[in-house]
Amino acid sequence: MSASVSASGAGETKTSAPQFAELAKYGGEDIASAAVLRQHFSIPEDDCHSLTDGVTWARRLGPQTNNKLPIILCAGASGCAMFYKAMAERLADFYEGPVVIVDRYGIGLSDRVAGQRNDLDLWSRQLDELVKSLGYEKAHFMGSSFGCAVLVYFESKFPARVASLGFISACIGGAGPKAAFQKVKIIKKLAACCCCLTQVVLTKKFAVKKLYARCDGQVEEGADAVGLPIAKAMYRVKGTAAAWADQMLSKGQFEVHRDGLFDKFEGLASRDVPMSVPW
């Protein structure tokens, strides 16, 4: 990482720490915590929300002094919220109101939470507390890919917090055929039998390295380049691989791939929550 790279409001990057000096290749989890990451990128205190389970990074963009509810943008399964910064700025200009980008626990600049499953329940509680921390009773929510599934589940737990929902390339729908899900069940049983081995194979030896290399491709496909150094550094934070394995092997994740949280979606529709699902 070059000293000339800036997180554009997240702070100038520093190169004094050895683990930040070279991000071209995945070097393992050599960054002690997300707090070290935030310090390295000189993250303003206003972006850091101390919630029950840890510190959540969330940034407000656009006008701050009006009576409009914020739009909270929830990112997909991989990558960091700063990848969505340019998109959020354009959305804020169009909306003429505040837009918030946020990292879920376990990725980006938010904490890796020890002793808690990194799953839909944790993230729902995180979003509920974040709305209050931002000074609101409710908000509009927009999700991208897996972030849409998070929001459907969140609304089922905290419907009073949701003014409306917007979905982009939603990871909702499920595998469908029962036979297809049988394969998922087999994988889940194997994972339960050898969880530690699964984490090593799924994350440290395969998935995380692939995701690390994928960061450059995300920028090529339109992600905000300002998020690239953060996205790469985040995979080197201690606990990220375990959090990723937890996410992929959680009950909620399998429900998403099985039936797309269809029961939650039915409940959402029955409550007449305003939704936008572009095709």
Q: Are 181 and 260 a contacting pair, CB within 8 Å?
A: no
For residues 124-145, average pLDDT: 95
Residue 3 pLDDT more than 70? no
Q: What is the pLDDT of residue 6?
A: 40
Task: Please name the residue that has the structure tokens 């990292």.
Answer: 103
Q: What is the pLDDT of residues 246-274, one digit of tens each?
A: 877 776 666 665 665 667 767 777 777 77
Pairing of strands 48-51, 54-61: antiparallel
Q: Which DSSP category does 2 fall into?
A: -
Q: How far apart are CA 168 and CA 276, in angstroms?
A: 9
SS3 (DSSP) at 236: coil
Q: Is the dihedral of CA 272, 139, 153, 73 positive or negative?
A: positive
- pTM (two decimals): 0.83
End-to-end CA distance of the chain: 38
Q: What is the pLDDT of residues 159-190, one digit of tens each?
A: 999 999 998 887 766 555 454 455 455 555 54
Q: Which residues share a beta bridge with 72?
A: 100, 141
Most confident listed range (39-53, 142-156, 188-202): 39-53
Q: What is the pLDDT of residue 14?
A: 47
Residues contacting 84, CB < 8 A, separation 6+? 73, 75, 101, 144, 223, 224, 227
Q: Are 29 and 240 a contacting pair, CB within 8 Å?
A: yes
Residues contacting 266, CB < 8 A, separation 6+? none
Could you give the percent of the chain with pLDDT greater than 70? 72
Q: How far apart are CA 85 and CA 9, in angstroms?
A: 10
- CB crowding 220-244: b at 16 or more within 10 Å, else e: eeebbbbbbbbbbbbbbbbbbbbbb
Q: How far apart are CA 21 and CA 198, in angstroms?
A: 30
Tokens of 252: 């909620």
What are the domain boundaries of the chain?
18-276
Q: What is the pLDDT of residues 103-128, one digit of tens each?
A: 999 999 999 998 888 899 999 999 99
- CB crowding 106-136: b at 16 or more within 10 Å, else e: bbbbbbbbeebebbbbbbbbbbbbbbeebeb
Q: Which residues share a beta bridge with 31?
A: 237
User: Which superfamily does 18-276 belong to?
Assistant: Alpha/Beta hydrolase fold, catalytic domain (3.40.50.1820)
The overall average pLDDT reported for the chain is 81
